[in-house]
Structure 1
Amino acid sequence: MTEIAFPFRIDRRGRTADVDYDAHVRDMVEQLLFTSPGERVMLPEFGCGLLDLVFAPNSPELAATLQLSVQAALQRWLGDVIEVETLEIISAEHVLRVGLAYVVLPTGARRTDVFEAGVAG
């Protein structure tokens, strides 16, 4: 099964680029992680607020808040598609890294992905 690639683009054949289902699920996780609630007009609750907390001072409390926020968002929005095995969030050197190990439920594929976003210093 193939799905539309994210971000949307045209492939070298001049058609809409596509990806396999497991890569599509990775794209969905990335969209969820880096979308702030309120950013989508038709779905204002979508997202996890991860980037909103990046500018708060680093502390054990912030780490716990981020962990819970991301875990809850993954369960709420993608709980029927993935099962999270491990989740690690690291903010260092103006880069936010999210390490995620999960199982794609419809295919049974195990994936380990790292998602990164640069943050203003």
Structure 2
Amino acid sequence: MNIAFPYQIGADGRSLASTDAAHVRDMMEMLLFTNPGERVMRPEFGSGLLQSIFAPNSAELAATLQLTVQAALTQWLGDLIELRGVEVLSDDATLRVTVRYMLRPTGEIVTENFSRSLT
């Protein structure tokens, strides 16, 4: 059983559960928007994506962020997913990430979109 994130209590008074696919998406979102050093017991956890949100847009920055995100996803979630593609777009103060992957346990192909705005 996977516990839903953010934590919620269901109608039966127990911790609300989530599906495997929803749980992987939640873990992916935490990984993408956590900066390394933010978690005390796992200082290397995170992608560092938000550190570049106000950097000037360029092809080089986009390629660097894409590689950084791919490396983080492979390191931390590689046992659960097989990456098929990552796209990172920065527009003013909004960061958009599209991740296409296969869930290893089921073989299901999933495309998820994540975004954060710092305004």
Instruction: Classify the TM-score, shorter chain.
Output: over 0.9
Report SS of the residue matched to 2:87: strand
Match of 2:110 in 1: 111
Q: Does 1:52 align with 2:88?
A: no
Q: Normalising by the residue count of structure 1, what TM-score does the alignment of the two structures yield?
A: 0.92
Match of 2:71 in 1: 72
Q: Structure 2 CA distance, aligned partners of 1:56 and 1:94?
A: 10
What root-mean-square deviation, in Å, do the aligned CA atoms of Structure 1 and Structure 2 show?
1.2
Equivalent pairs: percent with the same residue?
A: 55
Structure 1 position 13, deviation (Å): 3.2
Q: Does 1:62 align with 2:61?
A: yes
Please identify, of 67-76 and 9-18, the stretch whose mean Cα deviation from structure 2 is larger.
Answer: 9-18
Q: Structure 1 CA distance, aligned partners of 2:11 and 2:64?
A: 43
Task: Tell me if structure 2 keeps the 8 A contact 1:22–1:109.
Answer: no
How many corresponding residue pairs?
A: 119
Q: Structure 2 CA distance, aligned partners of 1:89 and 1:42?
A: 28
Report SS of the residue matched to 1:28: helix
Please identify, of 36-45 and 102-111, the stretch whose mean Cα deviation from structure 2 is larger.
Answer: 102-111
Task: Tell me if structure 1 keeps the 8 A contact 2:82–2:103.
Answer: yes
Q: Structure 1 CA distance, aligned partners of 2:12 and 2:116?
A: 30
Q: Normalising by the residue count of structure 2, what TM-score does the alignment of the two structures yield?
A: 0.93
Match of 2:4 in 1: 5
Q: Deviations over 1:58-114 (max 9, x none)?
A: 111111110111011011111111011111111114321111110010121211110
Q: Does 1:27 align with 2:26?
A: yes
